[in-house]
Structure 1
């Protein structure tokens, strides 16, 4: 699975690849959001990028998918992960007994079925579709204590191919309490070069002690540009104008407004800002139609020239760093104030 195969998540994909390139690989990550938005696909693409021996880097402003980097898709690691046969990448998932196999004790007993299911659905299948694939109607699968034992055992072994050992748990909210408590011990004392990726739709039933020990990343619903909240456009316009004036009293008031939004809305607004930057650069460098439609004609006409090939990559990096800081529960007012100073400098020195 490559990032280019996941539609509508360029901002999150760029954040993930940038964190890997910067050496910021958390040992435990929780990707939570609707399966239809590609949470499992992102986990697989992220894993493939980490293992890839020939990572590809490109200009996100001209790339057809808006990506800054992706795995090559052709090296030995990529081919094995795409076929779900890599010896250092292990999948755990809700498992249950079926008519043809009533002795299911762990994910290992249904590994082949799950691999076929993922390949058939391109990693976008839902839990109900998984049960339908197995042919079970009323039975509910769980991630069992034996699955947690497999995690502990696997992570204590050396990697077969000299890289990370990776465990991907799909539908982590389906872990029973015994499995969750065993997993907690692994999170508290992670082995070197291990990666635990949990994928969930609902975090409410996951132990708070597990949540506190993971880097939580929300996978947003895939939306089109016309579905951005209406308040984002005037907020973006006012903020950009403040970056030119740098009147501290006015900027502080602006930042207070940004900081008062909920964290998910803050990340959503940063994603909107990234998209506006991309539209500006496409207009100024590639000659595309002006993609800004903020309702302020003067701003829409003048601002795109502020984004050039010389400052765009740094602006993307600053926005991604701010989103990462917010995910890690950094103080939002400090984060947005630092981001404002950085963006002001970059835009003025275009």
Structure 2
């Protein structure tokens, strides 16, 4: 993995490159970033750059023996640890290394759900067990074979239970030229004993423009389609790539139609719309609701006089301006609340017809009678 293959994150890339050039490579680093931000591919690209035999000013060469092995994730000095679904108590990450290589090479922005699909997970819980901790200690007790560094990339250390304390000594006093890179999403879920021994590198979510450009250039999306997905995924490229695999787009047109039917209190037509949405499939229903939430938040910005902060394509911005003439901030926020609750219930397999009919009735009450449901969670 080379830095040039990673979407955006130019400032982080330069910081990592400079740390190598200036010989300031910390032996234990925590790459902390939200899902889909590129933390994991950044860690692999950083490791490849450290091991490259012909470093370029801004990237690894991609051609030397070390880089070629890194591209297949088969370098003898590169090790991975990650959550897995153990079938036996002595299972470790190496048990699933072939699936891991396939998953990462297919999609470096993978999340735990994507990783689960590569394994026979059944109903097991993902974790990093004590056997894996002992395996890490064993692997890192040896000197590097080929490169200047022996590198362990530990993905999602949040899944280390108290057994993770077994790693403290080797993290604090590693063998010379041994590097730990922890790649995490939730700082609060990491053992404090491990967290205190790492250098924190915060990785921000990807920008709207970065994702939009990537979808257009690498996935042949039209500007309109790329803009909608970039808007919906909220900086998460993993979510954006998942959306590419789904059939229904055009959420703007459908959502505005829904609001108009509710505003007009057109009962039969609302029922017909609910039937259509119920056939969309769970993932598209979630994306449809997510779009509505995002769109109405932009409307709230317009209503609050913060139009300069609105980030909508021209056509959608024009529609949003028209909608601000028929609803106020309180009504917008009330509808957002209903949509967020609906998203929660869709994730938990609620009956879509009943769910979307109830939401439609609540929107009708909000828009026509300014009735806002109280104690909505009960």
TM range (shorter): 0.5 to 0.7
Match of 1:86 in 2: 75
Which runs of no fewer than 5 residues in structure 1 stay unpaired?
Answer: 58-68, 227-294, 296-350
2:13 equivalent to 1:13: yes
Q: Distance in 2 between matches of 1:192 and 1:145?
A: 24
2:56 equivalent to 1:71: no
TM-score by length of 2: 0.54
What's the C-alpha RMSD, in Å, of the aligned pairs?
2.0
TM-score by length of 1: 0.58
Match of 1:142 in 2: 127
Is the Cα–Cα contact under 8 Å of residues 76 and 146 in structure 2 kept in the other structure? yes
Q: CA deviation at 1:209?
A: 1.9
Q: Distance in 1 between matches of 2:189 and 2:52?
A: 34
2:38 equivalent to 1:43: no
Q: Distance in 2 between matches of 1:52 and 1:162?
A: 8
Q: Distance in 2 between matches of 1:37 and 1:132?
A: 21
What secondary structure is seen at the aligned counterpart in 1 of 2:53? coil
2:92 equivalent to 1:106: yes
Q: Distance in 2 between matches of 1:104 and 1:129?
A: 24
Q: Distance in 2 between matches of 1:153 and 1:43?
A: 22
Match of 1:117 in 2: 103
What secondary structure is seen at the aligned counterpart in 2 of 1:199? strand
Q: CA deviation at 1:162?
A: 4.4
- Mark the CA change 1:139 to 1:155 in structure 2 (over 3 Å): closer, same or farther: same
Spell out structure 1 runs of 4+ moving beyond 4 A.
none
2:193 equivalent to 1:209: yes
What secondary structure is seen at the aligned counterpart in 1 of 2:36? helix
2:176 equivalent to 1:192: yes
Q: Distance in 2 between matches of 1:139 and 1:25?
A: 37
Q: How many residues align?
A: 212
- Mark the CA change 1:196 to 1:83 in structure 2 (over 3 Å): closer, same or farther: same
Is the Cα–Cα contact under 8 Å of residues 92 and 168 in structure 1 kept in the other structure? yes
Is the Cα–Cα contact under 8 Å of residues 165 and 193 in structure 2 kept in the other structure? no
2:149 equivalent to 1:160: no
Which runs of no fewer than 5 residues in structure 2 stay unpaired?
Answer: 211-307, 309-378
User: In the TM superposition, what whole-angstrom CA distance separates every residue of 1:185-243 from its partner, at most 9, and x where no partner exists?
Assistant: 112212210000111111112111211110111110011479xxxxxxxxxxxxxxxxx
Higher RCO, 1 vs 2 (CA within 8 Å, ≥6 residues apart): 1
Is the Cα–Cα contact under 8 Å of residues 56 and 70 in structure 1 kept in the other structure? yes
Structure having the higher Rg: 2
Q: 111, 121, 127: which is aligned to 1:126?
A: 111
Alignment of 1:1-350 (within 5 A): 1-57=1-57, 69-97=58-86, 105-121=91-107, 123-178=108-163, 180-224=164-208
- Mark the CA change 1:182 to 1:97 in structure 2 (over 3 Å): closer, same or farther: closer
Q: CA deviation at 1:46?
A: 0.3
Is the Cα–Cα contact under 8 Å of residues 6 and 42 in structure 1 kept in the other structure? yes
What secondary structure is seen at the aligned counterpart in 1 of 2:11? helix
